[in-house]
Amino acid sequence: MLVSPAMNESISVQPGPILLDPGYPLPGSIRRPDYRPGEREALIREIRALLEARDAVLVAHYYTDEDLQMIADETGGTVADSLEMARFGNRHKATTLVVAGVRFMGETAKILNPEKRVLMPTLEAECSLDLGCPPAEFIPFCDANPDRTVVVYANTCAEVKARADWVVTSSIAVDVVNHLQARGERILWAPDRYLGNYIQRVSGADMLLWQASCIVHERFKAEALQNLAKHHPDAAILVHPESPEAVIELADVVGSTTRLIKAVRELDNMKFIVATDNGIFYKMKQAAPDKTFMEAPSAGEGATCESCAHCPWMAMNHLRNLAEVLRNGTNEIHVPVDIGRKALKATQRMVEFAAASK
């Protein structure tokens, strides 16, 4: 078993051990490929032309390589958080969606758009939350708690979504849980224990939490963050809610990637300490070119850090494999029809809830 679900039934959640050895291999490097002279520019030109020729649109997450974000922006695609990525693919008329991110993002696009072709630069880009919530363990856990409404984070596989009543992303999770709580529902939440804990604290809902975590966000360190903040008392601290509680407690703003970018634009501060994947700096710098951004400290001094402030799976997306899938139509996402149909119900609920709460 990769991760043990919490067996606590109480509202105050008992945190389990942090998974330093999660039991699955991490991709080796978070560095972008060493492009040969002229290769990068040639690939960018080729990708632009192929997107048009293949009636394809690029949908990229904020954590991906900035070249991919730049191409998505400049070719009529989008760079977005998980919720907006899902919604954009649904709205856009292109017959092929090219999703740069991690596998669950491609699967979500396919679930919402079964008639479209969904390609990804790599099919090996995982997510520790998805890996930490295997259906063979999650489904019996739900079956053992039939009185609870099952709410899962989008960072899960199609089979887990198919067992859920609701799919949510970080930008909408609190609103959905508030809504369910107002209807008197008790919740089974999976997979991120930190996000679950955070939602529980702000909503006061009765939540039973699965105990997976994000290998990037769980490594942010509260004490080191406090020390850094002492040296920069004028900096605002921005934290993604997949981070540990002690880190969230230090935040001026807690929210999804989109919320954090909005904060950079709206707050008067000229400096920001950011506890999320550093791929987000590309958009933050665009949003506020005169401001300064610092990574929140993670993992401690001298650590060999394969996931410090950058997701090693997101880093597997680059110009070479993006060009390759557009050339050859490889790396197509398939979701079995029956699973896709069931997963669509819970995913569509999220999309409709988001539209209604605008």
Say if residues 309 and 216 touch (Cβ distance below 8 Å): yes
The entry of ligand SF4, ligand 13P, none near residue 159 (CB within 5 to 8 angstroms by kind) is none
Residues within window 228-287 making contact with ligand SF4, judged by CB under 6 A: 242, 277
For position 169 contacting ligand 13P by CB under 6 A, the verdict is: yes
DSSP for 79-119 reads: EE-HHHHHHHHHH---SEEEEES-HHHHHHHHHH-TTSEEE
Beta carbon of residue 242, minimum distance to ligand 13P (angstroms, whole number): 5
For residues 155 and 83, the answer to whether their CB atoms sit within 8 Å is no
Pick one of ligand SF4, ligand 13P, none as the site partner of residue 156 (Cβ within 5 to 8 A by kind).
none
- Cα distances from 292 to residues 39, 63, 236, 271, 284, in angstroms, run 31, 18, 11, 5, 9
Interacting residue with ligand 13P among 119, 207, 242, 279 (CB under 6 A) = 242
The pair of three-digit structure tokens given for residue 169, joined into one six-digit string = 């992303």
Question: Which is closer to ligand SF4, CB of 127 or CB of 260?
Answer: 127
- From the list 160, 165, 151, 108, the residue with the least C-alpha distance to 131 is 160
Q: Which does 314 bind (CB under 5 to 8 A by kind): ligand 13P, ligand SF4, none?
A: ligand SF4
Task: Decide: is 174 part of the binding site for ligand SF4 (CB under 6 A).
Answer: no
Interacting partner of 64 out of ligand 13P, ligand SF4, none (Cβ under 5 to 8 A depending on kind) = none
Q: Which of 81, 126, 130, 159 binds ligand 13P (CB under 6 A)?
A: 81
Interface of this chain with ligand SF4, residues 310 to 329, rule: CB under 6 A: 311, 313-314
Report the C-alpha gap between 172 and 180 in whole angstroms: 12
Residue 271, classed as helix, strand or coil, is strand
CB of 170 to ligand 13P, least distance (A): 4
Nearer to ligand 13P, 126 or 242 (CB): 242
What number of CA atoms fall less than 13 Å from residue 55's CA on the CB side? Answer: 7
Instruction: Determine which helix (DSSP H) or strand (DSSP E) holds 78, and give its type and residue range.
Output: strand 78-80
Q: Which does 331 bind (CB under 5 to 8 A by kind): ligand SF4, ligand 13P, none?
A: none
d(CA 66, CA 72): 10
Asked if 256 interacts with ligand 13P (CB under 6 A), we say: yes
For residue 78, state whether it binds ligand 13P (rule: CB under 6 A). Answer: no
Say if residues 44 and 38 touch (Cβ distance below 8 Å): no
Q: Which is nearer to ligand 13P, 67 or 81 (CB)?
A: 81
| Residue 216 in the binding site for ligand SF4 (CB under 6 A) | yes
Nearest residue (CB) to ligand SF4, 214 versus 251? 214
Q: How far apart are CA 10 and CA 204, in angstroms?
A: 11
Residue 187 binds which one of ligand SF4, ligand 13P, none, with CB within 5 to 8 A depending on kind?
none
User: Nearest 5°: CA angle at 287, between 286 and 288?
Assistant: 95
Interacting residue ranges for ligand SF4, rule: CB under 6 A: 102, 127-129, 155, 214-216, 242, 277, 311, 313-314
Interacting residue ranges for ligand 13P, rule: CB under 6 A: 81-82, 155, 169-171, 214, 242, 256-257
